[in-house]
Amino acid sequence: MNELKQASNLSVEVKPLFGLSLTELTAAMERLGQKPYRASQLQHALYRQRITSLDQATTLSHPLRDKLAAEGYVVGLPEIVQTARSIDGTERYLIRMADGETVETVWMPDGDGGERGDGSQAAEDEEAEDSETRTSSAPGFPYRRSTICVSSQVGCAVNCQFCLTAKLGIRRNLTAGEIAGQVAAVLNRHQVELGSTRGNYTPARINLVFMGMGEPFLNYANFMDAVRILTQMPIPESRMTVSTSGILPGIEQFATETVRPKLAVSLNASNDSVRESIMPITRKWNIATLLEALATIPLRTREWITFEYVLLGGINDSLEHAEELIDLVRGIRCKINLIVWNSGPNMPFHEPLQSGVSAFQKRIMAAGIPAYIRRPRGRDIFAACGQLKRTVESAPAPLIAIAPADTLAG
Ligand code: SF4
């Protein structure tokens, strides 16, 4: 019987521990008459050891674990219930929360770095390759480098016209534990070891991109709490990137954070009229307002803002659009990620011509602005940008369940 079922058999409220801060864990321990150091032990077990049930918190005594369980405390990690694996090694997971809501999370071995015009990889990828080794993508093998794409909400309210998640509407925000818990569940599945270097052992390099379902800046407090939890695993915030559609209050708050991921902005158009037609949020905050807010973010050494630009055939992919884009971002320390539109079921867009994509990229690079074409990952399993969740609900055929749910989690 899993811990949730066990806890719900007791007549007490089920209380997930995963996602609580040290202050909250300390308060919980104090309520049970325990010393504060017990909270630190539990914090270590939750976030460093990534335990999946209280039995595994062996630094706590048996009676204390029993006491926690009797009070309704559970680890409460979300559970991988379905997996699809692409021929390129990408895996797409359907992850279920305690209330039965599901989101999607994607594992991309070897990262999702883009390509320059000459076909070489992004700078951060080259840096990674210096010291790290690529290894097998099968679960159970040690990983040295991978990117996890994480969801922040169930559905999304932003309604970008090219995004399948938008078709769901917003169902609810994820909690901090549910956001960080997706990462823990995926790392456990792949038995990834994080942490300090020991002897010849090099810890895995895991990058996180908050680009799954939802708009993180419309769930700002929970998202930032999740970031703080993830840094304890430890995944440094410099290895995290959050993508926003341009939620101004979120950007303004983000500019004041001392611990924060890198920022990507889903721009997708070079002028307000095109952007409004594909991203209605532009009516609330136009491009000029958005760029003004971005200018207030104090960028760290070697940090830049990423502009994501989904190239939609005949909509935003002409050389005139490239010229406009150059004028918009000139003077901002930035790079452009060009994402070739992935066609989805019943979507009114088509893929741009490959020759047009190259010409667009070359024009931007000729202006001295770094531009990368994001390699499409997991196209055969609908794991690419904007394809999450909806495909599970509307077109189950492409999803290949490769293992029963209970063998995947933990
Ligand atoms: S692209 Fe992102 S912000 Fe836009 S609707 Fe989809 S999930 Fe929401």
pLDDT in tens, 47-57: 999 999 999 99
214: Cβ below 6 Å to ligand 1?
A: yes
Which residue blocks in 269-346 are alpha helix, DSSP H? 272-278, 287-294, 319-329
- From ligand 1's centre to the CA of 213, what distance in Å? 7
The band of 408, judged by pLDDT with boundaries at 50, 70 and 90, is very low
Q: What is the mean pLDDT of residues 227-251?
A: 97
In the predicted structure, residue 389 carries a pLDDT above the cut 90? no
pLDDT tens digits, one per residue of 288-317: 999 999 999 999 999 999 999 999 999 999
338: Cβ below 6 Å to ligand 1?
A: no
- From ligand 1's centre to the CA of 162, what distance in Å? 9
Q: Which atom of ligand 1 is nearest to the CA of 388?
A: 7
pLDDT at position 230: 98
In the predicted structure, residue 75 carries a pLDDT above the cut 70? yes
171, two tokens? 């169902």
Q: Which atom of ligand 1 is nearest to the CA of 162?
A: 1
pLDDT tens digits, one per residue of 4-26: 666 666 678 999 999 999 999 99
Fill in the amino acid letter for 347: M
219: Cβ below 6 Å to ligand 1?
A: no
pLDDT at position 5: 67
Name every residue whose Cβ is closer than 8 Å to that of residue 136 and which is 6 or more positions away in sequence.
none
309: Cα separation from own chain's centroid: 18
On whether the CB atoms of residues 69 and 7 are closer than 8 A, the answer is yes
- Beta pairing, strands 305-311 & 262-266: parallel
374, two tokens? 């994001």
245: Cβ below 6 Å to ligand 1?
A: yes
**Closest CA relative to residue 202, chosen from 107, 108, 130:** 130
231: Cα separation from own chain's centroid: 14
- From ligand 1's centre to the CA of 385, what distance in Å? 9
Taken in order of first residue, the domains within the chain and their CATH numbers are: 3-74 (1.10.150.530), 79-408 (3.20.20.70)
Angle between helices 319-329 and 354-366 (to 10 degrees): 30
156: Cβ below 6 Å to ligand 1?
A: yes
pLDDT tens digits, one per residue of 259-278: 999 999 999 999 999 999 99
**Closest CA relative to residue 364, chosen from 329, 398, 333:** 329
* Least confident piece of the model among 75-84, 287-296, 377-386: 377-386
Q: How far apart are the C-alpha atoms of 78 and 164, rounded to whole Å?
A: 23
pLDDT at position 347: 83
Q: Which atom of ligand 1 is nearest to the CA of 266?
A: 1
202: helix, coil or strand?
coil
pLDDT at position 348: 87
pLDDT tens digits, one per residue of 22-38: 999 999 999 999 999 99
On whether the CB atoms of residues 200 and 140 are closer than 8 A, the answer is no
pLDDT at position 59: 97
- Positions annotated as catalytic residues are 104, 385
pLDDT at position 73: 97
Q: How far apart are the C-alpha atoms of 84 and 101, rounded to whole Å?
A: 19
pTM: predicted TM-score of the whole model, two decimal places: 0.87
